[in-house]
Every structure is written in structure tokens, then in C-alpha cells.
Structure 1
Amino acid sequence: MSIADRANAIRLLALDVDGVLTDGRIYYGNSGEELKAFSIKDGLGIKLLQKAGIEVAIITGRNSHIVARRAAELGIGEVVQGREDKREALVELCRAKSLQLSECAYMGDDLPDLGAIIAAGLGLTVADACARVAAAADWCSRFNGGCGAVREACEFLLEARGQKATLESGFL
């Protein structure tokens, strides 16, 4: 099956956070607060996917109120935090949603994401992913994590479904 056919079958996109939705850096303020920067472009890509009927989820190894807040802003209902075994988290999420792994894409950037990338129907990664993840992924963005990589992945999925132009024309 071609990568376009596999992309067309996707009903759920699961995303890692650090290194995918962000550039992977964590900032700490003087009062101990944690800060992360998210791309607005990625946010719009997620919204377009949701309009097309593709659900978006987050699976991350860390716990962060910032992630929960960003997910809520984007209408992402499935947020799995504090899970080191992301493959198992993806399997559980699919089971809960009555989806096959072949209907799920997973986007990650580093070794903790490797199992989920391999298990998913479509493994996606960012330009600055570690070499082993880049080699295992089916598709790689031209952009680094936190710099529009998720947006490009969303557009790739929408293009495969033939919905990209229609959704973009809604802004004319």
C-alpha cells in the first residue's frame, strides 16, 4: 500500500509534545514555573484536521499543565501524559476508540517515540529527529519540531484525503 493510501486511511493523529509540538527546549522561570513555546501554525493545522474529521491526541512522557492548557485551547480531548511506553499508550488509545493501528498516525522525534512510530499505520517525524527515528518513520517533515512540522504533517494528511484545497478555501 502506498504512503498516500496509508495517509488517506488515517482517522487519528497522535502527537508527542517536546520536540514535536515544541522545539524540545524547556524553560524554567525564577519562581520554578515551566515554560514551553507552541507554534500557531501547528495549531491551525490541527484545527484543519479536526474539521476534516481526523481526531488529534497527545501522548507525552512528561506531565505538564501547559500541555493540558494547549490541548484544551485546540479542542484536543485525548491527552495522555506521564507515559514512558508510548507504543502501549497508542495501542490503548486505539482500543478505547475502536480504531485499528493502521488508522492511526503517530508523530514523534526521539527514542521514546520509536515503538509508537513503528506500530502506527503511519509513522511521522520532524526534520531534527534522532537518526534512528528518522530511519523508522514513513514520512519526515522539512521543518524542525515546534517550527511548523505538525502543520506540514496535517497538510500532508489532508492532501492524501483530497481535502486540503477545500479546507484552505474557507479562508478566502
Structure 2
Amino acid sequence: MAFESRLDLPVLIERVRHIRLLALDVDGVMTDGRLYFQADGQETKSFSTQDGLGIKLLRQAGIDVAIITGRRSPMVDQRAEALGIEHVMQGRDDKLEALQSLLSELNMDLRQTAYCGDDLPDLSAIKRAGLGISVPNAPLYIRECADWVTEHAGGHGAVREICDNLLAWQGHWPAVLDTYSHGKG
């Protein structure tokens, strides 16, 4: 798979071996970053079903998933519930502080965390996580600080790309393929 990393592939894979939590921003990562408002003021968002399956596969492999977002939206709660994501932190402008709080609760450290974000509120979490990830639709100064920039844009397969690579690099991919090859998925 094509990807952009400031780390050599062996170093990247070594870091991935320690990942036990994937923390995701929402707007610009799980979505394309656009906000849609209906005439009554109701906000809507669009999420990728393929990203959703990737998240479910990660969770089945024992890698936890969290959402950390600066905005508050009932759609985020609905999406998290549909995917079985238990750790949802909304209205959090300081993403690193939110991530560290969650890690304390989970008895994990930053080295065990991959964090994906796309803008300035994500920068400190990207820089401090064990694996800092960004998307190609992020500003250049964010991408330059990430260990890995996905090939796919936010809302267009970036999360699935992350999930698939984490599963492959941690050795879970053959079991995933085997499960779905036999009609059990």
C-alpha cells in the first residue's frame, strides 16, 4: 500500500506493534470536514461505511478506538454507538489533554496510541502519540509533523486505510481474511 511516512518502514512497523488504541478526530478525518445544516438548523455529517467496518475489525482484533473532537454533535454519538466505540470525548479543544486523560483511565501510555487528526487542535496529540497520523487534506504544517500521512483523504477511506495497515502490520490480517473468506464475517 502506498503511504507517506517520515519514518523508515521498519521503524513505523515497530511503533505499530505497540498500538493498543486508535484515537480519531471527527471533522476532516472520519468525515470530509464539511458541515451540513438543514433549514431547521439541524447539523448532519457523512461517514464512510468502509471506515466503519475497519473500526469494527480493529476492535475485534483487540485494538480499542476512541473519538476526540472539538465540536459537539449527536451524530457523533450515534456513529460511535453504531460502531461500538465506548470512548467518545466531544467539545475537547485540547486534544492532547483529552487523550492523556483517557490513557490514564485505560492505564495506557502515549506509546501505545495512534492518533489521527487534521488541524491545529490535533497537532500536540499527533506529535506526542506513539504514532502520529494525519490525512492529505490537512494543512502542510500538520502533515509535516505526522509520522504517517494517509493516502486517502478524511471521509474518503483514510480511517479504513489506517485500520487495514494496523491490522496487517500487527499480524491480524490473515485472520481477518480467513473469517470473511468463509462467510463468517
> Does the alignment reach a TM-score above 0.5?
yes
The alpha carbon displacement at 1:168 in A equals: 2.4
Superposition TM-score, scaled by structure 2 size? 0.91
Task: Tell me the residue number matched to 2:106.
Answer: 97
1:111 paired residue among 100, 114, 120: 120
Task: Tell me the residue number matched to 1:88.
Answer: 97
State the Cα deviation string for residues 84-140 of structure 1 (Å, max 9, x = none).
000111111111100010001100011110000011000011121111110011111
Is 1:154–2:168 an aligned residue pair? no
State the Cα deviation string for residues 26-55 of structure 1 (Å, max 9, x = none).
000011110100000100100010011000
CA distance in 2, matches of 1:99, 1:168: 29
Superposition TM-score, scaled by structure 1 size? 0.98
- Structure 1 runs of 4+ aligned residues shifted over 3 Å read none
Is 1:15–2:37 an aligned residue pair? no
Unmatched tracts of structure 1, length 5 or more: none
125-134 or 33-42: which moved more?
125-134
Pairs within 5 Å for 1:30-41? 30-41=39-50
SS of aligned partner of 2:144: helix
CA distance in 1, matches of 2:13, 2:109: 18
The alpha carbon displacement at 1:169 in A equals: 2.4
Q: Which amino acid aligns with 1:125?
A: S
Unmatched tracts of structure 2, length 5 or more: 1-9
CA distance in 2, matches of 1:155, 1:29: 34
CA distance in 2, matches of 1:49, 1:91: 21
Number of matched residues? 172
State the Cα deviation string for residues 33-79 of structure 1 (Å, max 9, x = none).
10100000100100010011000000000000000000000000000
